Structure 1
């Protein structure tokens, strides 16, 4: 007969194995909690994927440690956790946000353990020893790993500040934060005139495994600036190893030398591995901040859009500023889109075709004939598709036309992120 300790170990292993089978969903849940509860972790949405990888690596390590009775004192932090700490250091996210993430993650994991234990038929004499073993392993692991990632963070922060043109980078951060009133001294420190028209942009590598891309990004920033009509050298600041901020000096020029469609062609030919978010032209020191803030919003939309995003996205292009605001609460936006479009929000080709037709139909003042010319269809085909779309939605498009147009625009940008795969209806959404 198995000893008391052996039965305890078997029950601990069974609980850990059960949790590990739900690794993907548990990772998503805890990542969502950390992202929601710790505002500093929301500074850059591109890091959300890396946060998820860090959470998954830590959970997987803890579960395997419990399953196989491994001593937690011998464990090292997962590679994704180390990289996430480095990236937070590069972004200037406070280290206490990183420490809090581990504490909050531990609290949420303990709740899952209690729930799992409650579903087991546990002999009374095993309950306390099982909890003691799990809590001890988790506490030792979290304490050890949090020390490791904090050490990595601090080393990276020191290295990063030394690597950057620190005076310029810190001065830019102060101006953007509104902590400094820009004057001639600020312009001299930056080697960039603040009292002129600016076109701010953010350039980044969307591939999370791209490594250190700063040299390529800085080269692209200079190419981009010259293409858009810079009168002198641009101001470039590295945000992290895969992201750069740039301000194009336009002097008195009130419009860029090239339009955004030309810019997309240029970037596709010269820097296809990068994405650019443009903030539009603004003026003076306040414009320096404003154009950058707009570029950040455009970037948030590009990241949310994923593969739907073009190689260059500009805040002042039609619809971008509006949809960008809606990316701040993706769950609420998805719910709203589906409540407006209902069956028309299905994630399949037929529904996409109907949405495109309705979008053109509404843009052409409900004219089947005008929409048919744009879509290169017979007007009867447009009429049929609009009728089918209204049936899928459950009503026509005249009563709340503005909401429908905005919901369709969101679908155009965000695609599957706001759509629903309705298999029951997916094969029946029709169109010619």
Structure 2
């Protein structure tokens, strides 16, 4: 089966389609997340899903543009990495099936729209028949390889130590009541102690073992035993450090600032006791990760204490988004000017409306700070001091929420 014996209409469509690639990738991911909310709640999986979607569509379009036989298209190896991530999260192959079905539907819908607007009526039927056959073949092959990789990974870890540890951690995080002594023996990690959960990730690819090395270094730096570590995705590690009391972990954030270098980043939850603390600290670390993973230029080490209010307010992102818009109005717009004014106002309020101190933080002149604050106030339509708490929170949420990215 070939695309065409003549200059291919499909190749031309592929070229046009590639110009919409970013929008198509975002649409596919949003549709998958809406159908499978568990994936969207985890920024690590969401990021992998977007990268995988872009890789797969690019592979298909490259073959289409060069008139390759679709049976020779190579499914990107990243498909198997994503499959292993899904298995390690305790998900079944049905998730891969649903994701492929949604992606194929959106690609075919977009392809139809392009075809109707660019292909001559006399050629449309034959072009669509060949297009549909090629898209269906690629989607089927992609699904086959993803499910095969998931099955292989399930077989590899089934009944093994890794499988037991992953299942045990999942049960703890789901709130299942288990015997503390039995869990501690199984995990080789004392769940009866104080726990500090971390999410360690990289903004770009790192060598295997780098994230674990960072985690072990942090645990050793505070004199803690070997931490519990679970690979959440290719570039994301979940970790728990157990200490006899909360005091031993109190300096962890400061130590992490000195130890963690780009591209590695760390989100640190609060130190909490027992199994409930194991779960609570992890939930808080995940909340920090969700808020900060979308900002590659953000701080390398972030704690829940620093972002606690914003994390709490953003637990319902739809409502938080609306709150930002209603509080900031035009100041929430995505323009370089508004971004500069928001940052100046945020620092100004954080410095108790002290212009000299704010100018030091912003490395600009005091008069510049006052001018920007005056302009921001004009856009707001009211003095920020009148609604200080609301404005401060809205400014922080505007920096953090991925709905504004």
Q: Distance in 2 between matches of 1:302 and 1:182?
A: 35
More off after superposition, 61-70 vs 127-136: 61-70
Task: Return the offset for 1:259.
Answer: 5.8
Specify which of 295, 309, 315 is matched with residue 305 of structure 1.
295
2:265 aligns with 275
1:428 aligns with none
Specify which of 100, 103, 110 is matched with residue 101 of structure 2.
103
| Contact 2:8-2:67 within 8 A present in 1 as well | no
Task: Return the offset for 1:65.
Answer: 4.2
2:356 aligns with 372
Q: How does 1:113-192 map to 2 (within 5 A)?
A: 113-120=111-118, 122-124=120-122, 126-159=123-156, 165-192=162-189
- Provide, for residues 140-164 of structure 1, a one-character-per-residue CA deviation record: whole Å limited to 9, x for no partner: 2222221122212322344456886
| Contact 1:229-1:256 within 8 A present in 2 as well | no
Q: Distance in 2 between matches of 1:274 and 1:56?
A: 23
1:314 aligns with 303
Task: Return the offset for 1:26.
Answer: 2.1
1:263 corresponds to 2:264: no
- Provide, for residues 299-352 of structure 1, a one-character-per-residue CA deviation record: whole Å limited to 9, x for no partner: 1122023211x22211122x34524652764x8756654553345346677655
Task: Return the offset for 1:233.
Answer: 3.8
Give the 3-state SS of the residue equivalent to 2:55 in structure 1.
helix
In structure 1, stretches of 5+ residues that fail to align are 420-432
Give the 3-state SS of the residue equivalent to 1:178 in structure 2.
coil
- Provide, for residues 76-115 of structure 1, a one-character-per-residue CA deviation record: whole Å limited to 9, x for no partner: 3123333322333343332211111111111112211222
Q: Distance in 2 between matches of 1:381 and 1:272?
A: 32
Specify which of 379, 383, 395 is matched with residue 392 of structure 1.
379
Q: Distance in 2 between matches of 1:130 and 1:379?
A: 65
| Contact 2:88-2:166 within 8 A present in 1 as well | no
2:211 aligns with 217
1:426 aligns with none
Indicate how the Cα distance of structure 1 residues 198 and 66 shifts in structure 2: closer, same or farther if over 3 A, else same: closer
1:51 aligns with 49
Q: How many matched pairs?
A: 399
Q: Distance in 2 between matches of 1:163 and 1:378?
A: 62
| Contact 1:72-1:141 within 8 A present in 2 as well | yes
| Contact 1:300-1:324 within 8 A present in 2 as well | no
Task: Return the offset for 1:357.
Answer: 4.0
Q: How does 1:57-72 map to 2 (within 5 A)?
A: 57-72=55-70
TM-score for both structures, normalised by structure 1: 0.79
Task: Return the offset for 1:193.
Answer: 2.5
Task: Return the offset for 1:238.
Answer: 3.4
Higher Rg of the two aligned structures: 1
Task: Return the offset for 1:75.
Answer: 2.6
Q: Distance in 2 between matches of 1:136 and 1:154?
A: 27
Specify which of 232, 238, 248 is matched with residue 239 of structure 1.
232
Task: Return the offset for 1:187.
Answer: 1.9
In structure 2, stretches of 5+ residues that fail to align are none
Q: Distance in 1 between matches of 2:398 and 2:376?
A: 15
1:194 corresponds to 2:202: no
| Contact 1:55-1:81 within 8 A present in 2 as well | no
1:429 aligns with none
1:359 corresponds to 2:346: yes
1:291 aligns with 281
Give the 3-state SS of the residue equivalent to 1:202 in structure 2.
strand
| Contact 1:276-1:312 within 8 A present in 2 as well | yes
Give the 3-state SS of the residue equivalent to 2:208 in structure 1.
coil
Give the 3-state SS of the residue equivalent to 1:280 in structure 2.
coil
Q: Distance in 2 between matches of 1:357 and 1:54?
A: 38
| Contact 2:246-2:271 within 8 A present in 1 as well | no
Indicate how the Cα distance of structure 1 residues 60 and 228 shifts in structure 2: closer, same or farther if over 3 A, else same: same
RMSD: 3.4
Q: Distance in 2 between matches of 1:120 and 1:328?
A: 42
Indicate how the Cα distance of structure 1 residues 295 and 109 shifts in structure 2: closer, same or farther if over 3 A, else same: same
| Contact 1:201-1:246 within 8 A present in 2 as well | yes
